Amino acid sequence: MSLKVRLLDQSFLRDIHAIEASRFTHPWSEQQIAEEMRHPRIIALGAFHGESLLGYLFAYLLPEELQLNNVAVHKEFSRMGIATLLLEYLEQLGKGEGCREILLEVNEKNSGAIALYEKRGFKVTGRRRKYYRDGGDAVLMQKKL
């Protein structure tokens, strides 16, 4: 499958929300996604097959670091390398902007995401106990660029 990564804008709100709602127990609303996308430091990336959005990533570009906020892939296209492609693109973009690291937090119960991040070279740096609504800890991870 031929995939392209490109920046997302507000015209993709419904597509982003559809993926978000299909993947998360407590998904962001379209309004929350729109607010996130209006943030001046946001990087919103989408992975496309033709004109179809298959996955997205949100991160903040901060001085010398990227803060990964959200990655989601349409359920039908899971485990096809789409999240990896988005992360690789983000890493290259970050290096080009002079970033030295990427930081993220992930629910300890999301073993698939943790495995993906570890495979991409992220290391666990800490925890926030009972951070999520479901009682799960937030696992803090970091990758040096």
Domain ranges of the chain: 4-144
Q: How confident is the model at residue 12, as a pLDDT?
A: 96
pTM for this structure? 0.92
At how many degrees (to 10) do helices 30-38 and 13-23 cross?
Answer: 120
Looking at the chain, list the stretches that DSSP marks H as alpha helix, in order from N- to C-terminal side. 13-23, 30-38, 82-96, 111-119
Residue closest to 15 by CA, chosen among 34, 42, 38, 43 = 34
What amino acid is encoded at 6 in this protein? R
Per-residue pLDDT of 66-100, as tens digits, reads 999 999 999 888 889 999 999 999 999 999 999 99
When pLDDT is cut at 50, 70 and 90, the band that residue 133 belongs to is: confident
Tokens representing 48 are 């496309």
Fold of 4-144: Aminopeptidase (3.40.630)
Tokens representing 34 are 């729109």
Q: How confident is the model at residue 75, as a pLDDT?
A: 87
Percent of the chain clearing pLDDT 90 (strictly above): 84
